[in-house]
Structure 1
Amino acid sequence: MMGHSFFCVLEFFFFILVLNTPFYYGHAEDAVLTLEPSWSTFFTGESVTFICDINEGKDTDWFYKINKGGREFLSYGSNKDWTISSLSTGYSDVYQCFGTHKSSLITKSSNNISLNVSAYKPKATLTPRTTTIPRGGRVTLSCSVDIFGGWKYDWFGQTSYNNEAPITTVGEENRVITVSEGGVYRCRGRRGQPVFYTDVSSYVTIVKTISNYVTVTPNWPQMFSGETITLRCEIQGGGDTGWQYCWRTPWSTTEWTNTNSWTFSVSVHSSGNYMCKGRYTWDPYALTEWSKPVTVAVADKPRPVLTVSPSWLSPGASVTLNCEVEHPSAGFYWYKTVPDLSDKYYRYYRYELLPGRDNGTEQNSSIIHGQTHTAGYVCRAGRGDPVYYTDHSGPKFVWSGDVHPSASLTVNPDKVQHFTSDSVSVSCEGNTTEWRVRMFTDGGFLSQCYYSGTMTGPTCNISTSQSGTAVYWCESGSGEFSNAVNITVQHQSDIMLVSPVLPVTEGTSVTLGCKFKKENVLSQVFFYKNDKLIQNDTRVELSIFAVSKSDEGVYKCKIKKNSQLWTSPQSWMSVKLVSTAESSSFPVPLIVGLVCGVLPIILLLPLCCYRKIKDSRFLRSQSTNQSSATDHMIDQDESQDRKHALHGDVCLYESIKDPEGTEYDDSRDLTYSSIELKNITNDDDTLMYTDVHFLNKGKAKKNKGKSSPAVADATIYSEVQAQITLGNNAEIK
């Protein structure tokens, strides 16, 4: 006890001595005061160590003290470093240390150093380079603290399959890491000993991208308004249970749904790009990006174009329908039009599928056999399941000149060509009282009587104020079509051909005339058939007796007045064949009786025929190619070739000239064979000559306007046969 007391008294004495002894201060920087750690800013709760180094002697040779803000903070002691384990804001100030030598009592002072203590606890900041992990890639995450100074970092992550947990890292600082899984990530900073932790950063959500794409059904390059389309969002390796989808359309973005398909009816406003995105409800960190866009092009509902061939029916001919639509279709549907007179102004028809074509056809053409009367057709195309149909095409018609008992049309006056000053009407007759008259103009316009005339009951009074050509026919309230007629109204020409409107029945007679607007009496008329001159004498009418199918063709007439040539428009004359039932009306007993009674006379016929032929002259037969219906009447793509021969009066024209002086003379090189004459009524002309051949012996001279006796004298008659004429309609072979 005594020793210890003595030491304390001695130390106190030394302390008093130092206080009462004048100090000698060295240079200002003879001592150095530092902080460990040497951070610019400390935070509440952290620790700091003051270190006072005297650059002379040993550390144990000195006494040390520290001033704070110019006042003593730590009194003299033997340790050069002092630690404050838990800082507070009150420690913030300027500090300086002093060292006094134990022997010489020399005192040295240090530099001033500032200590900043902040009450604010910093928060780490997590910065991702991107929040979406690309397919097969990784994302880089960075953690930082605003206040610089010795930070190390801890990482935490939570995926869909695990709760939040520390992430094991390899580096010491760990400021930057990379991740390959979607999830929620955060970080914090730490430093010092004991460790000081920052607040944890905010959560950053990282999602993992999964590949996706859009499919379109049906995948047609062109959609049409009203069609149904299905978009499907396909996800690689998934896309079934647990996924949700949304769509980006040309006008908006949809809400999330649980189905990957979207079916809707398109309109022209639906055109544009479509994209989809998916997310996995069981893994909120797994989703897709917006898919590549698919383009949907939508146009208005198409209307196909129907063509028919031929437009005018001929016996035994088939009708071909062609339906053209802008884009390919899976099937084509064919309909016949049935007149519907419930609306008198808008030309409505009912459409009925053609028999045997209920399911449509793959081809865009259809052939109809056995059509004998005027008829109308439409078509439309269809595709998809359920079937999407185009609009119906406009109606196209196949016309027939044959009169139908249930519906027929007549023209008053009964001729094809009319002047603009004429009064023309067409009338409908048949098994109904309700009618309308339709017309198809040469300009391709389908109309009815209300637009070009006046309808009074079953009669349409045609307006002739304007020239033009049109096909006319009747449609009945019971759904029937009448025969069709081609009517021409003209004002540019003062001449017209007078020809019958309706087909001429085979075996009957017909007379064609030529009417000149400026003169009622004509002196000479030139008649043409199929552009070939057939009559140029003083007769002003062309009479054809016992009309046959070969007389069918295009006719016109010409006149020459005061050196001026006038030509009428052309008109088609149709010939109606007599059916087999009509031509074979004789009973068998009568035929047998006639054969038995006339048979003896037949044996004497060859001798009589030989003498009669020598004094006879024959009308040479003109072999021409009959033009198609396009030359004489309005046509809907009709093209058909026919062959014919002209039957006329029994007289010979060696050289026929038209009004321009063109000469037709080719009789010298003709061979006549298999000549058939029908419906001969005179008793003297009932003989028939078959296989009669006319051959030239040498080159004949060309005589203009005169008959050539040499030709007749050089005639060779061979194989002359005679048969009984059974009646006007019987044919002798």
Structure 2
Amino acid sequence: MGHSLLCMTGLLLLGSLFYVNAEVPNKPTVILEPSWPQIYSSETVTVRCEGSQSLVVWREDKLIRPSASEYIISRATESDSGGYSCCTMSLSVCSDIITLTVSSSKPRATLTAQSSVIPAGGSVTLSCSVEGSAGWKFDWFRRDSEFSGAQKIGAGTSEHTISISEGGIYYCRGGRGDPVFSTEDSAAVTIQKQVLAAVKLQHSWSQIFTGDTITLRCEIQGGETKVWKYEWTAPNTNSPPTSSEYRLSRVSVSHSGDYRCRGSSDYLLTGWSDAFRLTVSSSKPRATLTAQSSVIPAGGSVTLSCSVEGSAGWKFDWFRRDSVSSKAQLMRGNEANRVISVSQGGLYHCRGGRGDPVYYTEDSSDVTVVETSSKPRATLTAQSSVIPAGGSVTLSCSVEGSAGWKFDWFRRDSVSSKAQLMRGNEANRVISVSQGGLYHCRGGRGDPVFSTEDSAAVTIQKQGKVWAAVKLQHSWSQIFTGETITLRCEIQGGEGKVWKYEWTAPNTNSPPTSSEYRISRVFSVPQWRLQMSG
């Protein structure tokens, strides 16, 4: 009974102290660490006392005497909720009361997105929060699909926002304290990334004609490995395809207009593409046939060209007939090359075709090609018939009225010797020579080669470093009437050659043709001149 009375007296005294607490100096202070407004079950909380004396912790109706001036609550529960204060050992002075609230429910993080679509080339901001509490750090997760495993893309970030540029399923959770207490994961948020779509014509045709079959493609840039669903808008149709290709068979003018597409895939989508404007021409095009020449030289050929003006993508069929009344025969079909070579006369025409099924142009007009029986002759011309000492002469070979020739060049030493091929299959029709002789040429073209007749021979002489001089056989300084003398024609620089000689002399019509000129019994002393050839 005595002890109970003493206890009651102490409580009354403590109540009196609390009442006058605000006026007492050196009042202790109570602090909760961490100072979060909301504490959850299993978190760790410390009640710390600060003051100049030894202190105890008073929790409502319970006195706690910790070994130090703090009280650690490990793995707090709802029962740890209440008001806490710090008092001196004598309980004479106590702090204000601080309230600890422990929630038994585990909090859930909340994830919000700035937008559910990432614009092409851009990003979206995600925000994670835990309502009514503070001190959190955040983990961020992403997965590619509902069935794939989540990948952690950010761990323990103090910032509550991140910026993302990839589509996917995102969620977050908060954590705080040591050891870490984690919230429930947030609800998942689906983010789609926008990429670009474009409508392209499968064939690079600049013009589309009525009856053509074409394919438009929806090309998505940046989503090559994904499986896409497609949508199209097109003129004059209520049932456009749902695939990446839009095939239009045998188009008409009514198919002209704007075509757009868009696609969607796992967390990827496109906006509507820019319009592709299709224009279908109502007129059927006509092929045009041109001939390099209307005459095929003997043994030669002529080149024919087929074209369709203002459009592309054509392959060509080639036809020939012997006369206006005969039936045309297909020579070659579905030729990618628009040029062919023909060596037979006749009436020729062509047509173009493209697409699958094939769309054909109108046939071209006929072109008549005739053969000639005469074989052309090459012509050789020389810049000069004499090669100057130490120089050269230019020779030119040509075939009149035709082109496409290459040339063979020949030389021989004399009329009786055999011609030797100097150069063969020369594209250049001009050569330079520095050696005398008899030259001729011929032209050739095609495969197999068709050759012209040889040109006429052209003789080219080479002028050497030689000269002629008239010498008196005897070195007499004076000649007298009645003496007999001999003049000699000496050729310097041509000692190894056989020469023919010519003389000019006064008072004679029959000078000799040898190297010596003998004059018997001279009657005067003439001035002698000599002309030499050889």
User: TM-score, normalised to structure 2's length?
Assistant: 0.44
The structure whose residues are more often helix, as a share, is 1
The structure whose residues are more often strand, as a share, is 2
